[in-house]
Amino acid sequence: MSDCIFCKLANGEIPTEFLYEDENVVAFRDAHPLAPVHVLVVPKAHHENILDSVPAQTLASVAKAIESVVDATGIRESGFRVVTNTGSDGGQSVMHLHFHILGGKQLNPTCGEKEL
């Protein structure tokens, strides 16, 4: 999708530092972090959300990226949250599938990110 900011970031059209990259996904720090560690895992191919027939190999890459990021940022042992929002009522603001990795502090046990 030509006007999608996450497509442009994931495919190198907009420079950013990747914490993880493979053939299917990239991971980079969120520009507006809600926690000390706030990293996004973004598929390189455009998928609007988790219900958009995402290939199994892309989901496997997401899992590998999450493990790599929590190790690299030192939050594996203390704990972290992984969130994907779907649709406007679900809080999705960029209509490209992405996963938030949040950690580095005690997170509120509720589901809403605003309570972080």
* Residues designated as active site: 98
Cβ pair 102, 83 in contact under 8 A: yes
Cβ pair 57, 24 in contact under 8 A: yes
The residue behind tokens 């969130």 is 83
Q: Which helix (H) or strand (E) holds 63?
A: helix 56-73
